[in-house]
Amino acid sequence: MKKSLFVLLLATVSFVAFRYAPIASENTTTASSRDIINNMLASIDKLKTLQYTLKGWERVGNKDNYSEVDTKLNVSPFKVHLYSKAAPNDGIQIIYNEASHGKKAFVNPGSWLPNVSLDPYGSKMRKGQHHTILNSGFAFLSKIIRAAILKADKEAAGEFEKHFVYEGDVVWSNRKCYKIVINDPTFKYENYTVKAGENADIIAKNKNICGFLIVEKNPGVSDFSDLSAGQVIKIPTTYAKKTTLYIDQLTLLPIVQIMHDEVGQFERYEFHNVVVNPKLSDETFVSFP
């Protein structure tokens, strides 16, 4: 297959500063950061279907991988249809639907190549990717934020708004948004002994941390599955040192997500043309148009 199967979901890094700089609103909403975050989480919980274009930048090695993917998503049961629009993966389509295709991703590589079924966690689909297609949508971020809230409430009781900071209103892509910046001063790396059956994805899921940072931080780890029982590795204590969210004031969804570690930005995801709870046909998640 000539094209690398590049599907993403959530994104990051390096961009021209003035291109993405938000415009400050004249009026700042009178609201607490906890109220804004709680309303965002409630809005995510109410989603049944979703349609959007995801633009993502992810740090991989010494470069930033860019993706642009049209996404149609059914929240529960989880079903997703992805159409890649960015070179060199433009034209690739992917469907994930356990009812019709099992636990494999059904892939249309485009051109004259035949459709194939691939493991979402396999190297062909994960190469150069921070996430799997199973993290499409906002549920993954919701889980990370809920873990950050628990940590803040436990370790910094009474100081929530010192770590979850509402920095005012901004206008991004013609959408008025709340800007929330989440800082974790305790972010660091610690030793972890790999248990039998674990890989970077499993560890990341269990601890609500970033699997990509596990791979990046350990020189002897080549990919997400390159771990063995008893191996001692470095893992981050939390998902990110700093997270910036632009939360759309109409949908209350986090349409911009920017994550930093101790080095700098490692992920940026932008959700464009978001449609909440659209009517999506069953055929969308069964076959390619």
pTM of the model: 0.89
Burial (CB count within 10 angstroms: exposed 0-12, middle 13-18, buried 19+), residue 17: exposed
How many distinct structural domains can be found in the chain?
A: 1
Which has the higher per-residue pLDDT, 9 or 66?
A: 66
156-162 long-range Cβ contacts below 8 angstroms, 24+ apart: 160/33, 160/34, 161/32, 161/33, 161/34
Q: What is the mean pLDDT of residues 191-205?
A: 97
Inter-residue contact 70 to 93 (CB < 8 Å): no
Measured CA to CA, the distance from residue 222 to residue 284 in angstroms comes to: 35
Residue of 84 and 1 predicted with greater confidence: 84
Local confidence band at 16 (pLDDT 50, 70, 90 cut-offs): very low
What pLDDT was estimated at residue 205?
Answer: 96
pLDDT of residue 48 exceeding 80, the answer is: yes
Asked if residue 231 belongs to a domain, the reply is no
Q: For the residues 2-7, what does the mean pLDDT come to?
A: 41
- For the chain, give the mean pLDDT: 90
| 195 belongs to a structural domain | no
Q: Chain-centre distance of CA 10, in angstroms? A: 3
Is it the case that residue 93 has pLDDT exceeding 90?
Answer: yes
Report the range of poorest mean pLDDT among 26-35, 60-69, 90-99, 132-141.
Answer: 26-35
Confidence of residue 12 (pLDDT cuts 50, 70, 90): very low
Residue 148 falls within a domain, yes or no?
A: yes
Average pLDDT rounded to a whole number, residues 199-226 = 96
Q: How confident is the model at residue 156 (pLDDT cuts 50, 70, 90)?
A: confident
Cβ neighbour number for residue 109 with a 10 Å cutoff: 18
- Examine the pLDDT at 127 and tell me if it is beyond 90: no
Q: Residue 202 falls within a domain, yes or no?
A: no
Q: Is 122 inside any structural domain?
A: yes
The closest alpha carbon to 52, from 281, 288, 283, 269, belongs to: 269
Dist CA 73 CA 15 (whole Å): 27
Q: What is the mean pLDDT of residues 259-286?
A: 98
Give me the domain span that covers residue 73.
23-187+238-285
- 3 domain-assigned: no
Q: What CATH number is given to the structural domain containing 92?
A: 2.50.20.10
47 is a domain residue: yes
Phi/psi of residue 219, each to 5°? -55, -30
Give the position of tokens 């919980």. 45
Instruction: Specify the pLDDT at position 29.
Output: 61
Q: What backbone torsions phi and psi does residue 229 show, to the nearest 5 degrees?
A: -55, 135
Contact 90, 146 (CB under 8 A): no
Of 109, 99, 96, nearest in space to 136 by CA: 96
- d(Cα 200, Cα 214) in Å, to the nearest integer? 7
pLDDT tens, residue by residue, 165-195: 999 999 999 999 999 999 999 999 999 999 9
Cα separation, 92 vs 69, whole angstroms:
10
Asked if residue 147 is part of any domain, the answer here is: yes
* Range with lowest mean pLDDT among 18-27, 45-54, 65-74, 254-263: 18-27
Tell me the three state secondary structure of residue 149: helix
Q: In this predicted structure, what is the pLDDT of residue 28?
A: 56
